[in-house]
Amino acid sequence: MRLFRFATLWASVLLSVSTAAAPPSNVLPSMDGNTISPFQWLNPPPQARFEEGTLTIVASPDTDFFIDPENGNSNATAPLLWRDVEGDFVATALVEPDLSDTWHAVALMVLIDDTNWIKFAFENSDATGPSIVSVVTRGVSDDANGAVLSNTQKVWLKLTRKDDVYAMHWSLDGENYRMSRVAKMSHASSVKVGVEAQSPLQAGATHRIHHLSIESKTVENLRTGF
């Protein structure tokens, strides 16, 4: 009897670990050029292709989301594939940005309104090259460089909401995540959540997103993301 109970308990533990480690469901395979509901485009790109679960976005030149803290100039022209999400969530993406020019990036984005939003990106920074970059905008944008990933093409990004606090994590394998930033934003019962693809200078860019998921759930620990 004791052996049976131990085997049952061990099986339950293995099942819970396997379930916890399973990647969230990718929504991209269900989309094509005509069917993206419940998602929508803000600033539709000139080209967007859904092929074998990968979204390829062509971003036009001079496309970005940024409110310059030096002069107040605002650019809100980058393509954003989004849907409304109410309450707590975990958004995850596997991104492969075109890093051929400065500030080319793909980001997970939370848009509260025109002047309050978060952009969490894998970007070709002017300061550090390919890096994890976060931009938190509360009236004006900041610009915070994180880990430098010079020899990396694809990165997992995770953006988590718990109440009005948002945590940003990144990973190379989709399992082991490192925290980049935690920020509190103004209250909103629902926000726009999705992926943004940008090309702020004069050269366009072709970006790829290989995974996108948005789960309505509340994590226990914002700093770990789980």
Confidence of residue 195 (pLDDT cuts 50, 70, 90): very high
Our CA dihedral for 141, 147, 153, 157, rounded to 10 degrees, sits at -60
* Residue that wins the pLDDT comparison between 61 and 20: 61
Domain-wise residue ranges, the chain: 24-215
Whether residue 20 is predicted with pLDDT greater than 70 in this model: the reply is no
Lowest mean pLDDT among 4-18, 176-190, 198-212: 4-18
User: Distance of CA 212 to CAs 77, 87, 109, 144, 181, Å?
Assistant: 21, 18, 12, 23, 20
Rg over CA atoms, the chain: 18
Dihedral-angle region of residue 204 (phi above 0 means left; psi in -120 to 50 means alpha; beta otherwise): beta
Confidence of residue 33 (pLDDT cuts 50, 70, 90): confident
For 111, other C-beta atoms within 10 Å of its C-beta total: 21
Three-class SS of 55-124: EEEEECCCECEEECCCCCCEEECCCEEEEEEECCEEEEEEEECCCCCCCCEEEEEEEEECCEEEEEEEEE
- In this structure, what token pair is assigned to residue 41? 């485009």
41: phi then psi, degrees, rounded to nearest 5: -100, 130
As a whole-number percent, the residues of the chain with pLDDT over 90 amount to 88
For residue 126, the model assigns a pLDDT of 96
DSSP 199: B
28: phi then psi, degrees, rounded to nearest 5: -65, -35
- Taking residues 51-71, what's their average pLDDT? 97
- Taking residues 74-82, what's their average pLDDT? 98
Pick the CATH number of 24-215 from 3.40.50.720, 2.150.10.10, 2.60.120.200, 3.40.50.920: 2.60.120.200
Q: Residue with structure tokens 């894998």?
A: 122
Q: Which amino acid, residue 36?
A: I
